[in-house]
Amino acid sequence: NGSPKTGIGAEGEPEDKNVDEAPISPAERSLLQKIIRKGLVENKNDIEVQRKDPTSPLFSIKSFEALHLDPQLLKGVYAMGFNAPSKIQETALPTLLANPAQNMIAQSQSGTGKTAAFVLAMLSRVDPKKDYPQVLCLSPTYELAIQTGEVAAKMAQFCPEIKIRFAVRGEEIPRGTKLKEHIIIGTPGKVVDWGVKYQFFDLGKVSVFVLDEADVMIATQGHQDQSFRIHKLLPRNCQIMFFSATYEHDVMDFAEGIVSNPVIIRLKREEESLDNIKQYYVMCRNLEDKYTAISNIYGVVTIGQAMIFCHTRKTASWLSEKMSGDGHAVALLSGDLAIEQRIAVLDRFRDGKEKVLITTNVLARGIDVEQVTIVVNFDLPVDLARKADCETYLHRIGRTGRFGKAGLAINLVDGPETLAVLKQIEDHFGKKINKLDAEDVDEIE
């Protein structure tokens, strides 16, 4: 059925020989993260301004009204449930909307409101009276482009005169066509085809160029070069908005090559900690014991949702089948699934249709699931040498603590080797992990 394969296993972490699963690509991780997110990631850190135009002072706004947006657009913003700008938006939006236009490089972790910021800027820069593409947004993959387009469509729901076109795989147009839509959202390859090769639109008339997920972009062979080819044909005064979730040398080198005289803003990721987390372990003799422990835990999950991490795909599907067989509503996110299926699973879990999500270490590494209150390590995270993978443990269990919500982590230990891993984790964080009897999991709530 032509299911898109966005380079699953192409990039990402080094392969773990103990695992029967290929790692997911940065693009897919970013997509899954977007799907599962319910709202903003809050962040108490301050915005860092790394470079600014000395002639125009940087300011920030505390309300969307202060931006003097088109009323229909403002209505769209409120209809999305956005009451006030997020931290990155407070600082980014005034610059993105300023006249004369300024270039911007903005970096903050996924979920902090970057997409909403540049989509708002894109929409408010459109002149609907001009029937040609004025705004061009590059995304690394088909799915990410669609996500951005959906945000734009929602925000522009009261601005029916603004037209958007996707330049992605599957979109075909006859030679000689001249596009009339105001906004083009697409992947680099297709945009090179449409804008450079077939000239379905004039890159020389584009006044806003957005490069989204730059860090993901550079992880794909060829995307950087295609971006440069597109960039070369843009007018000199085209406003450039460059966004990235991470801030590494290669991303900044890419940015330097594309964005001249930028305002650079960053919002550093808040440190995760185990402070608000109750950590327990349950001693199990075998797989059946582990299953019993899980079933008991499932019984007490009355608030929120749980996520269960297994080391292999096989264990994950075994567990999911067994729990389903026992009448529990569980979701399984596994490497066997095509990307649309993964999206569907995470959609359902986000909407609370299942209380429990079972997954593998590989698939869920780096994906934050904020609404989860209980994390179960069916298998503890280990590295290639079978030593404790403390970083993954922290990321999975840790919170930034800002919600004051207490989390709960339960580790299943099935022998001396796993117990040793648990001790390594305890020592690493200097925090005790208490023993829990499988029979009286009630005491955890």
The residues of the shown chain that bind ligand ADP, judged by CB under 6 A, are 37, 39-40, 82, 85-86, 89, 110-116
Shorter beta-carbon distance to ligand ADP: residue 89 or 103: 89
Q: How far is the CB of 106 from ligand ADP (least distance, A)?
A: 9
Q: What does the DSSP 8-state code read for residue 204?
A: G
Residue found by looking up tokens 């299942």 in the block: 354
Shorter beta-carbon distance to ligand ADP: residue 402 or 431: 402
Q: How far is the CB of 273 from ligand ADP (least distance, A)?
A: 22
Helix then strand then coil, in percent of the chain rounded to 5, is: 40, 20, 45
Q: How far is the CB of 303 from ligand ADP (least distance, A)?
A: 22
Helix, strand or coil, per DSSP, at residue 142: helix
Whether cis (ω within 30° of 0) applies to the bond prior to 174 is no
Q: In whole angstroms, what is the distance from residue 144 CA to residue 11 CA?
A: 17
Backbone angles phi, psi at 333, to 5 degrees: -105, 105
Q: How far is the CB of 313 from ligand ADP (least distance, A)?
A: 28
Helices vs. strands in the chain: H and E counts, helices first: 15, 15
Q: How far is the CB of 92 from ligand ADP (least distance, A)?
A: 10
Shorter beta-carbon distance to ligand ADP: residue 109 or 134: 109
**Cα distance between the two ends of the chain:** 46
Shorter beta-carbon distance to ligand ADP: residue 60 or 317: 60
Shorter beta-carbon distance to ligand ADP: residue 109 or 411: 109
Shorter beta-carbon distance to ligand ADP: residue 9 or 366: 366
Question: Which residues of 52-176 form beta strands (DSSP E)?
Answer: 104-108, 135-138, 164-167
Q: In whole angstroms, what is the distance from residue 242 CA to residue 211 CA?
A: 5
Q: How far is the CB of 171 from ligand ADP (least distance, A)?
A: 23
Q: Which helix (H) or strand (E) holds 374?
A: strand 372-377
**CA-based torsion, 134, 251, 188, 340: positive or negative:** negative
Shorter beta-carbon distance to ligand ADP: residue 113 or 188: 113
**Residue 61 in contact with residue 94, Cβ under 8 Å?**
yes
Q: In whole angstroms, what is the distance from residue 206 CA to residue 238 CA?
A: 7
Residue found by looking up tokens 């996924």 in the block: 110
Exposure letters 367-390 (e unless 16+ CB within 10 A, then b): bbbbebbbbbbbbbbbeeeeebbb
Shorter beta-carbon distance to ligand ADP: residue 84 or 384: 84
Q: How far is the CB of 275 from ligand ADP (least distance, A)?
A: 25
